[in-house]
Amino acid sequence: MNSEEPSRLISDCIAGDERAIEMLVREYEAGVFRLALSIVGEASDSNEIVQETFIAALRTLKNYQERSSFKAWLFTIALNISRSHLRKRKVLERLRIALTSIFQVDAQKQVLPEDKIIENETEAAIWNSLSGLDERHRIVVVLRYFHDLSITEISEILSVNEGTIHSRLHTAREKLRSTLVHLHGE
């Protein structure tokens, strides 16, 4: 998609052109899904987040201002919805734990989608190390390296200054380096 296409496509979407809406969704849905999956870790939740993201984006498309990239704007929406899902999941998990202890039922551990998707040892080690980072460090790594967003775009999405993004990336890389050093036999 060239630089003029998003503007025209957005205008067509605002006008209610169903073909334009379908094109917009198809263009960005895989990236939004990967972002959501990297944050919430479950494919079913990620699919819900993709749907919610596009519904929210299409409802507020008139408010989009082209001073930021459309991808950054859309990813901000997806990130906020993903975080909301995590908060809901934590509440539900606390409820599940409370109910489990009340009824003394052993909960079986669910197999995470990442475990199914990640097949080789190196990818598993990288994913495990990434999952071990706290949210603020994991998100900048995901946005930078999995979604190829610039520091400026990440700064816009997270509403923090670029220096903070650089700092978080540096810290995250150092933590990942220390946990992954065994992969190179060092």
- CATH 1.10.1740.10 residue spans of the chain: 1-110
Q: H helices within 4-161, ranges in order?
A: 4-14, 18-40, 43-59, 70-103, 113-117, 121-131, 135-141, 151-158
69: pLDDT confidence band, cut at 50, 70 and 90? confident
- CATH 1.10.10.10 residue spans of the chain: 118-186
Return the pLDDT at 133: 87
Q: What is the pLDDT of residues 14-55, one digit of tens each?
A: 998 999 999 999 999 999 999 999 888 888 899 999 999 999
What six digits make up the tokens of 58?
A: 């299409």
Average pLDDT of every residue of the chain: 81
Supply the CATH classification number for the domain 1-110. Answer: 1.10.1740.10
pLDDT of 101 > 90? The answer is no
Contacts of 162 (CB under 8 A, 6+ apart): 151, 152, 155
pTM summary value: 0.62
Tell the CATH topology of 118-186. Answer: Arc Repressor Mutant, subunit A (1.10.10)
Handedness of CA 132, 139, 152, 168 (dihedral sign): negative
pLDDT above 90 coverage of the chain, percent:
37
Distance CA 13, CA 17 (A): 5
Distance CA 75, CA 35 (A): 8
